[in-house]
């Protein structure tokens, strides 16, 4: 199993800004959420096999992973494949600032990218193999093996869409809250979605 965890809240999240490779810390609420995630996962995974913890290298995910690591008594290692989508010139901008024609193109074309940024298709091409590799690592530990992956909203959506064999544009039909948990397992035909957007608090 791979447990995909979205990081706790940042001030940019609170203000509704696009947040890609910009690197803010968690706010006070986000730190509380990270501690709650750690406690919830320690309880949920108490009877599971070996746990490996990986995290996107950005500060908000690393800080969330640190709380989970303390609760699970494991070390967190960085996994660049879990980085958030690159919003390029749009990073830390409100959605309302995105021109209407660009917004329409973004929602209708999986190969559209913000200036200097990354497309939804490129994101899925990056995240899909990363998740499959982590699932394979979990499977090597047996049926009860678990990898916890702390990441961001867009990679979690991409992982779910890839598991379902869907078009990258399906990402617009999914909601992934901060401090939420999504679980995937290996199936005979690829990843299987077990739970989606579990809210810890």
Residues with a known catalytic role? 7, 84
User: Measuring CA to CA, which residue among 9, 13, 16 is closest to residue 34?
Assistant: 9
Interior CA angle at 70 toward 9 and 7, to 5°? 20
Is there a contact between 30 and 178 (Cβ–Cβ < 8 Å)?
A: yes
At CA 122, angle to CA 195 and CA 164, rounded to 5? 30
Q: How many CA atoms lie within 13 A of 145 on its CB side?
A: 12
Token code pair at residue 161: 């869409």
* φ/ψ (deg, to 5) at 198: -65, 130
Q: For the chain, percent helix, then strand, then coil, each to nearest 5?
A: 45, 20, 35
């Amino acid at each position: 199993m791979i447990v995909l965890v979205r990081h706790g809240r940042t001030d940019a999240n609170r203000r509704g800004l696009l947040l890609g490779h910009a690197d803010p810390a968690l706010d006070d609420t986000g730190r509380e959420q990270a501690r709650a995630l750690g406690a919830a996962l320690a309880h949920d995974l108490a009877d599971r096999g070996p746990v490996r913890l990986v995290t996107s290298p950005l500060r908000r995910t690393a800080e969330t992973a640190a709380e989970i690591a303390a609760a699970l008594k494991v070390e967190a290692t960085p996994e660049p494949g879990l980085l958030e989508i690159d919003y390029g010139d749009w990073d830390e901008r409100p959605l309302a600032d995105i021109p209407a024609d660009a917004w329409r193109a973004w929602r209708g074309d999986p190969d559209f990218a913000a200036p200097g940024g990354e497309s939804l298709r490129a994101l899925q091409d990056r995240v899909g193999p990363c998740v499959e590799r982590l699932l394979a690592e979990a499977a090597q530990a047996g049926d009860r093996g678990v990898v916890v992956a702390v990441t961001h909203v867009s990679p979690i959506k991409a992982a779910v869409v890839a598991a379902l064999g869907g078009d990258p544009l399906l990402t617009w039909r999914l909601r992934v809250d901060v401090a939420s948990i999504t679980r995937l397992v290996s199936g005979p035909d690829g990843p299987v979605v077990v739970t989606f957007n579990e809210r810890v608090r």
